[in-house]
Amino acid sequence: MKCEIVAVGTELLLGNIVNSNARFLSEKLAELGYDVYYHVTVGDNLTRLKTVIEQGLDRSDIIITTGGLGPTDDDLTKDGVAAALGLKLIPHKESLEKLENSFKLAGRHMPECNLKQGYIPEGSIVLENNNGTAPGILVEKNGKAVILLPGPPKEMMPMFDEKVYPYLKAKSEFIIKSKTLRIVGVGESKVQEMLQLIFDTQDNPTVAPYAKDGEVHLRITAKCKEDLEADELLKNMDKQIHDILGDNIYGYDDESLEYVVYKLLKEKHMTVAFAESCTGGMISGRMTNVSGVSAVFMDGIVTYSNEAKMKFLNVKEETLNKFGAVSSETAIEMATGIKRVSGTDVGVSVTGIAGPEGGSAEKPVGLFYIGIAVRDKVEAHRFLFPSSREKIRWNAATRALDLLRRELL
């Protein structure tokens, strides 16, 4: 079945916001086995809006609109859809009562314009909005359906998941299931090369790579009539890819690298502390985004200056003078230093040149060293990743977490 997504709002056409709703809805519709052939964005203009809906009814089976359901004069989606379908707008008792009550509860007088939020095209179904005042609407006519959702993603997404998803699922012939494999430590082109045979021969399931902030995500998608058949297809492809990429795959779906590191530390009853120079606290920051991390993460020190490296981590002045702050020797002393002062099982250090200033021929921008001290073993790894300051720092933090993960495996 063909589906079309229509976003309504002049703010989108002015570039004030990005149409993230279309991405969200498209992903869900693909998952449900619907074909989406068009996205259209139109402004708060009744004539153009009506024409767009008429065109959508002509070429698609289902239209989902987002935006334009609010109380102001600019909110015209219901008017446009009703006009295109040749339906009248009529008052909806429950919605009107709910509106009046919400204003009464807030002790405020309801402005006249809010009344329009309680009007619906005749014969339509109201989708209650638990996260805002504008209800959604579902209207069917001549075998076509138009679904009107609010514009703010925080209202639209739960309304879609709770009210629209089940409706569309019941209508769909297929089920689509997907699984994301998260890869770190190898680049996108290397992944492409290693999996060339799979990419060349894929059909169902499909396999698609996405580069994401220093990682590569592979999405496997199966389209089947039966749930179990899809599960089987996903499982087999996952195994095939695992046989090739091995430990470069660190997790699935929404598991972050820091969460996987946390899980490994917890399983092994080990604790960690970080000494960061160029990453300036990003590694600690990322780790502490995991709830419950206090069981494994003790502390972190951001030693940006040489003085701080000596004072807090006991890096020797001689080492800094002889090899420089960005060297494997300093990385090693930082790692052993943080492990000792924190009393943890593992110490991880990062020192590097994030730029844009501070590089030299011998030590260019993008050079960094990562030190890992585990119990009585310590080693340093050298990386060169010339890029923007932000990317170098993020990549250095990712590499440090990945090295720690591989060490724990």
Residues 29-58 within binding reach of a copy of itself (CB under 8 A): 29-30, 36-43, 45, 48, 52
- The residue from 56, 118, 150, 300 that contacts a copy of itself (CB under 8 A) is 300
- CA 383, 388, 394, 398 dihedral sign is negative
- The residue from 188, 229, 238, 299 that contacts a copy of itself (CB under 8 A) is 299
Q: CB of 88: closest distance to a copy of itself in angstroms?
A: 27
Q: CB of 32: closest distance to a copy of itself in angstroms?
A: 11
Query: Which residue lies nearer to a copy of itself by CB, 203 or 357?
Result: 357
Q: CB of 239: closest distance to a copy of itself in angstroms?
A: 24
Query: Which residue lies nearer to a copy of itself by CB, 119 or 174?
Result: 174
* Residue 102 and residue 133 in contact, taking contact as beta carbons nearer than 8 Å: yes
308 near a copy of itself, rule: CB under 8 A: yes
Query: Which residue lies nearer to a copy of itself by CB, 121 or 160?
Result: 160
279 near a copy of itself, rule: CB under 8 A: yes
Site for a copy of itself in 341-400 (CB under 8 A): 341-343, 354-357, 389-390, 393
| CA gap 313, 91 in Å, rounded | 71
Smallest CA-to-CA distance from 90 within 130, 57, 132, 126 is with 126
Smallest CA-to-CA distance from 72 within 109, 115, 106 is with 115
Residues 6 or more apart in contact with residue 185 via CB below 8 angstroms? 248, 399, 402, 406
- The residue from 112, 269, 291, 375 that contacts a copy of itself (CB under 8 A) is 291
Q: CB of 348: closest distance to a copy of itself in angstroms?
A: 13
Residues 6 or more apart in contact with residue 190 via CB below 8 angstroms? none
Query: Which residue lies nearer to a copy of itself by CB, 4 or 402?
Result: 4
Query: Which residue lies nearer to a copy of itself by CB, 15 or 143?
Result: 15
DSSP 361-399: SSS-TTEEEEEEEETTEEEEEEEE--S-HHHHHHHHHHH
- Measured CA to CA in angstroms, residue 404 lies from 348, 356, 408 at distances of 8, 27, 6
119 near a copy of itself, rule: CB under 8 A: no
Query: Which residue lies nearer to a copy of itself by CB, 87 or 164?
Result: 164
Phi, psi values for residue 21, rounded to 5°? -60, -40
Question: Could you tell me how many residues of this chain bind a copy of itself (CB under 8 A)?
Answer: 73
- The residue from 8, 28, 251, 337 that contacts a copy of itself (CB under 8 A) is 28
Q: CB of 255: closest distance to a copy of itself in angstroms?
A: 16
The SS3 assignment for 290 reads: coil
| CA gap 89, 78 in Å, rounded | 8
Q: CB of 104: closest distance to a copy of itself in angstroms?
A: 20
- CA 301, 303, 308, 310 dihedral sign is positive
Query: Which residue lies nearer to a copy of itself by CB, 96 or 308?
Result: 308
Question: How many other C-beta atoms can be found within 10 angstroms of the C-beta atom of residue 175?
Answer: 17
Query: Which residue lies nearer to a copy of itself by CB, 51 or 328?
Result: 51
Site for a copy of itself in 167-226 (CB under 8 A): 208, 210, 219
* Residue 402 and residue 249 in contact, taking contact as beta carbons nearer than 8 Å: no
Query: Which residue lies nearer to a copy of itself by CB, 60 or 336?
Result: 60
**Paired strand residues for 379:** 372
320 near a copy of itself, rule: CB under 8 A: no
276 near a copy of itself, rule: CB under 8 A: yes
301 near a copy of itself, rule: CB under 8 A: yes
Query: Which residue lies nearer to a copy of itself by CB, 171 or 219?
Result: 219
Q: CB of 98: closest distance to a copy of itself in angstroms?
A: 22
Residues 6 or more apart in contact with residue 300 via CB below 8 angstroms? 273, 274, 275, 276, 281, 283, 284, 287, 338
106 near a copy of itself, rule: CB under 8 A: no
| CA gap 351, 367 in Å, rounded | 9
- The residue from 8, 64, 283, 372 that contacts a copy of itself (CB under 8 A) is 283
| CA gap 337, 140 in Å, rounded | 68
Query: Which residue lies nearer to a copy of itself by CB, 312 or 323?
Result: 312
Q: CB of 350: closest distance to a copy of itself in angstroms?
A: 12
| CA gap 308, 397 in Å, rounded | 20
